[in-house]
Amino acid sequence: MTSTNQTTKDRVVIFDTTLRDGEQCPGATMTFEEKLAVADLLDEMGVDIIEAGYPAASNGDFEAVSEIARRTKRAIVAGLARTIPNDIDRAGEAVRFAERSRIHIFVSTSPVHMKYKLQKTPDEVLAMSIASVTRARNLIDDVEWSAEDGTRTEVDFLCRCVEAVIKAGATTINIPDTVGYTTPDEYRALFRTVRERVPNSDKAVFSVHCHNDLGMAVANSLAGVEGGARQIECTINGIGERAGNAALEEVVMAMRVRGDAYPYETGIDSTMLTRASKMVSNATSFPVQYNKAIVGRNAFAHESGIHQDGMLKHTQTYEIMEPQSVGVSKTSLVMGKHSGRAAFRSKLEEMGYRLSDNQLQDVFARFKDLADRKKVVYDEDIEALVDENIATAHD
Ligand code: KIV
Ligand code: ZN
């Protein structure tokens, strides 16, 4: 079902920030052991860069980032830092045992952030950016620079900063939509403009980092990629500050299922997405909404009779991807008041019952009565209905 009409696909790098931006959301704190388990799974799943935390934030964060750096086999391990020298040194220290490591420096570049949050002039922010990237490059070859609140930054100033930090050695340039304000068209155009206007832009990889305040984080991320970005920053289940970040499972599957519209590939083993979602949900105690795309419990569940009938005839009637492609063993036809006779018969057969037409008619009528009273009818309820029917027939 995955689109195949595109032969050459550009590689997009997946930068997972579940353990940093994700953990930053209220109530999502993970223990040391939980962070290690999540990092191991991300590495196994094929995430290219794991942002393991913000080492200067606390000793706990420092220890977790260091241990993740030591044990990660494949992925690059990144540590976040402000432009402050101590932050950069702590990040460098924490990631130094990784096979491949990155320091990720961020600084606000929008007028509102520079004036009120940093209380710095644009020239000061520019100087801080250059100094911090230079310092980080003395520790490590792989340095990312992020223009916090990039989508509300004046484009001329953004271009000046990007050019200067690339000269100072930044290898990845991230333009975050920190407050989830942009739209797909705007974000795509922003990347095109910056890449066109900055003379040395081809020396760095451009990155998207989208928050979901208006529910557009995934659409914006994909638009940024169309504008030339080749790194997507995202989190499992889309957890993150406020309304969260772009969900990793959604961006990955959007590119896979709609390869005709998004001719890009990632290194993610999508069959591990459901496992990752469950692990992060358990570790953070953040439930996954039932109707969440890709990993919600209803993502491959059908209740209405018309849909169930269609699904029994051909799965592509109501599913655009195979459940197995994201690690779900099978589609579920949920038995409820909207279910039809065809689905009910199929359910009975799956449970090992072969009923005559008369029996089926009787059990189906009882099932409908029950379904009017109960939200979901479980297998045990159906067993009881069949047993009742058999018992009545023997009376
Ligand atoms: O949203 C944001 O701007 C961030 C930066 C630290 C990259 O998370
Ligand atoms: Zn963020």
Ligand minimally distant from the alpha carbon of residue 146: 1
pLDDT of 244-293, one tens digit each?
999 999 999 999 999 999 999 999 999 999 999 999 999 999 999 999 99
Atom of ligand 1 nearest to the CA of 24: 8
What percentage of the chain reaches a pLDDT higher than 70?
97
Using a 6 Å cutoff on CB, does residue 51 contact ligand 1? no
Query: What is the spatial distance between Cα 99 and Cα 144, in angstroms, rounded to a whole number?
Result: 17
Distance 177 CA to ligand 1 centre (A): 8
Residue 27: predicted pLDDT: 86
- Contact of 220 with 188, CB cutoff 8 Å: no
**Ligand 1 contact via 209 beta carbon (within 6 Å):** yes
Q: Supply the pLDDT for residue 116.
A: 98
CA of 174, nearest ligand number: 1
Whole-number average pLDDT of the chain:
95
Q: Give yes or no for residue 106 CB within 6 A of ligand 1.
A: yes
| pLDDT tens column, 168-198 | 999 999 999 999 999 999 999 999 999 999 9
- For the entire predicted model, the pTM comes to 0.94
Q: Is the CB of 35 under 6 A from ligand 1?
A: no
Structure confidence at residue 3 (pLDDT): 46
Measured from the CA of 178, which atom of ligand 1 is nearest?
Answer: 1
Q: Which residues surround ligand 2, an ion (CB under 5 A)?
A: 21
Is the separation of the CB atoms in 101 and 81 below 8 Å?
A: no
- What own/partner pairs with CB < 8 Å and gap ≥ 24 does 302-308 have? 302/331, 302/332, 302/333, 302/334, 303/333, 303/334, 303/335, 303/336, 303/338, 303/339, 304/338, 304/339, 305/338, 305/339, 305/340, 305/341, 305/342, 305/343, 306/340, 308/333, 308/339, 308/340, 308/342, 308/343
Please give the pLDDT value at position 393.
66
- 2-39 tens-digit pLDDT: 444 446 789 999 999 999 999 988 889 999 999 999 99
ipTM: 0.99
Cα Rg of the chain, angstroms: 25
